[in-house]
Structure 1
Amino acid sequence: MNFFSVILTLLFCYVKPTWTVTCSKDGLQWNSHCLEYFSEADSFIGAEAECQGYGGHLVSINDKLTNDAVAYLINYYTEEDPPVDIWVGGNLNAEGYWKWTDETVFVYANWNLTSKSEDKCMNYLMPSKLCDADDCDKEKPFICKISSNRKGRV
């Protein structure tokens, strides 16, 4: 069992949620949501649309624990070495501020500061576990944060 598995197991042992979360076989229970890895590459806009089709959004990374959970999913579901970079839910709005597609407050960012100024969509770099801006039209795998009460693709 790797380090991230141990940490996530310990967290789930001590956190007693009052809700029932059912995730697909490709999902990870995370608070009241499921984090689900999608290996079929798409553009940032296409990936967000796919997530919305399941009642969610591209994952927002609001703290270190979520950052580590995203890394765990990528490592678990990819066979490439190093693992692939993926889309997450941050994008640069017209006013020049980063925002999450799920409208949560943008307070945590673990940045790799090498992106070009014209890049507007956030991708997650492996194995560094850092976020970076990239061309929104590039096709990449992605992780959705999906509501736990969804019944499948809507």
Structure 2
Amino acid sequence: MKTLILAALLCALLALDTAQAFSFDCRDVWRPSKNRCFTYVPKAMTWTDAQKNCLRQGGWLTSVRDAEEYAVIQKVITDAKGTGLTWVGGHDITEEGKWRWTDGTPFKYTNWRPGQPDNDQGNEDCLHIFTEGRWFWNDLDCQTPLPSVCTKNV
């Protein structure tokens, strides 16, 4: 199953890479920050479907590069009256314990909840963010339907 998900993501990424460039102004529901734009997608989807949805919009499930950007993402969620349980683009689908971002950003900044990631029941390969008094990250079964945050480069 992990191989199938990875293959689908790679095909979509290759198609996107050859079909369009990331060059546009942030408008409508996209919030600018530095050289990227973010949007909250309230529709609950699996992690893979959320990534496909972001790709259709010319972006990716968001990566988180630093604490400043993480604060922007949190504001995007809260301004949209989001639930706080939200998919972002982190995953360890290809290799357990080796976390990656869908857009290829180096996985340097983290904000894991204490004790996470734990790969509970051997089936948690996708990253979501949530609030528990403060914002944390957790690994979760990729099939769980959640809202998401997409990002595009400007």
- How high is the TM-score relative to the length of structure 1? 0.75
SS in 2 for 1:34: strand
Say if 1:55 and 1:21 are closer, same or farther in 2 by CA, change over 3 A: closer
Say yes or no: does 1:138 pair with 2:141.
Answer: no
Structure 1 match to 2:4: none
Structure 2 match to 1:110: 111
Gaps of 5+ in 1: 1-19, 149-154
- How high is the TM-score relative to the length of structure 2? 0.75
Structure 2 match to 1:120: 125
Query: Residue 21 of structure 1: CA displacement?
Result: 5.9
SS in 1 for 2:110: coil
**Retained in 2: the 8 A contact 1:21–1:32?**
no
Structure 2 match to 1:76: 79
Query: Residue 26 of structure 1: CA displacement?
Result: 1.9
**Retained in 2: the 8 A contact 1:71–1:126?**
no
**Retained in 1: the 8 A contact 2:93–2:126?**
no
Q: Distance in 2 between matches of 1:40 and 1:23?
A: 21
Q: Distance in 1 between matches of 2:145 and 2:36?
A: 25
Structure 2 match to 1:10: none
Q: How many residues align?
A: 126
Higher helix share: 2
Query: Residue 146 of structure 1: CA displacement?
Result: 1.4
Gaps of 5+ in 2: 1-22
Q: Distance in 2 between matches of 1:89 and 1:69?
A: 15
Q: What RMSD in Å do the two structures reach over aligned CA positions?
A: 1.8
Structure 1 match to 2:93: 93
Structure 2 match to 1:45: 48
The 4+ residue runs of structure 1 with deviation greater than 3 A are none
